Amino acid sequence: MSFTIFATAIISAMLINNVILSQFLGICPFLGVSKKSSAAIGMSAAVLFVMVISSAVTYTLYDLVLYQYGIPYISTIAFILVIASLVQFVEMFIKKTSKSLYKSLGIYLPLITTNCAILGVSEGNITNIWTETMPYWEGLFIAVSTAVGTGLGFGLIIFAFSSIREKLDASNVPAAWKGVPISLVVAGIMSLAFLGLAGII
């Protein structure tokens, strides 16, 4: 596998098919944890870690177990179990190493388990990448590359959005637009901006 394929998969998942602004997945942490940049960075790192590891594990699980034994129809349940286990590990690690970050993430940290962006990437790796004729290592490489790009794209957008929200909190915004309303307008404008990247790759 060449570096070109790796770079193309990352750029495509990160900017062109951004999981938040193009696919509208992971909106819950996008709106809930983006009030502070520090919390946004912590959430982004946790999501990136879980997304990459879960993509590698779920692709392997599907290719070597579920498909081989003729039970691919339980893939969603199996994938959720894998993601939930990884999230528990991340939650314990953050709680042990950074209690301030753990408190700032709050309920949104365990909600990574039900983050549709992570499950969407795992399922997308199967429907978009996996074929019977593709060698296992080649498919795994593309799946992990896509997960890295998606995780970086998630982090980029949530950090940019949190920075904008911090500026808005200090700005003279009309009372009716303060908080969630102006945040949703900004999210819509960001989505339109990224729509301009469609079709580049």
pLDDT band at 38 (very low <50, low <70, confident <90, very high): confident
Cα distance between residue 195 and residue 100, in whole Å: 36
Cα distance between residue 36 and residue 48, in whole Å: 18
- Cβ count near 178 (within 10 Å): 13
**93-142 confidence digits (pLDDT tens):** 888 888 887 887 777 777 776 678 888 898 888 887 766 667 888 888 88
